[in-house]
Amino acid sequence: MNFIAIDFETANSKPDSACSLAIVAVRHDQIVNNFYTLINPQSDFNIWNTRINGLNRAKVATAPTFDQVWQHISTLFSMDQLVAAHNAKFDIKVLQQTLLKYEIEPPHFLAVDTVKTSRRLYPELPNHKLDTVSRYLQIELNNHHNALADSYACANILLAQEQQFGQETLKKLVTMV
């Protein structure tokens, strides 16, 4: 299976306030690369988000803005690229709204949500949060709400699900964005 797993952290409750992004690339069922960046969201941080992800204005002051980051990663988001995220609805909305903030047309791509796959495949779990599913599958998640740690966990969840249930089962849960 080939895909990228993504995770965003935001500065506040607005979906166009991306302040960090991580991407983990999987090729032939192996994690082969990763990308992580802080992002200057050009918006205010709220205390709630800072408590969750540990990021604040000072930490991202010299970071690139998302339009600068997009120049380097845009080719990863295409019609023939599968993008995985845990709670993909959130991460895709952050991507789309942040792009619109910079007047960049959001791309279309294939997406799979590991929250949805986990709900379908592990109905016995009390919830399907990233840390719960990771613990259940014995996947390391040392720094939850760090975008890179969360992207690695998402990638490993999807890989474990593919190994346990097969690619055909997962293909039924892929959507076009």
Burial class (CB in 10 A: 0-12, 13-18, 19+), 14: middle
Residue-level pLDDT, tens digit, the chain, 177 residues: 999 999 999 999 999 999 999 999 999 999 999 999 999 999 999 999 999 999 999 999 999 999 999 999 999 999 999 999 999 999 999 999 999 999 999 999 999 999 999 999 999 999 999 999 999 999 999 999 999 999 999 999 999 999 999 999 999 999 999
pLDDT at position 102 is 98
Pick left, alpha or beta for residue 153 (phi over 0 → left; psi -120 to 50 → alpha; otherwise beta).
Answer: alpha
- Residue 132 structural domain: 3-176
CATH number of residue 162's parent domain: 3.30.420.10
Q: Say what the pLDDT of residue 83 is.
A: 98
- pLDDT for the residue numbered 124: 98
pLDDT at site 164: 97
What CA–CA distance (Å, rounded) separates 110 from 99?
18
Number of domains within the chain: 1
Angle at which helix 66-73 crosses helix 88-101, to 10 degrees, equals 110
The pTM score is 0.97
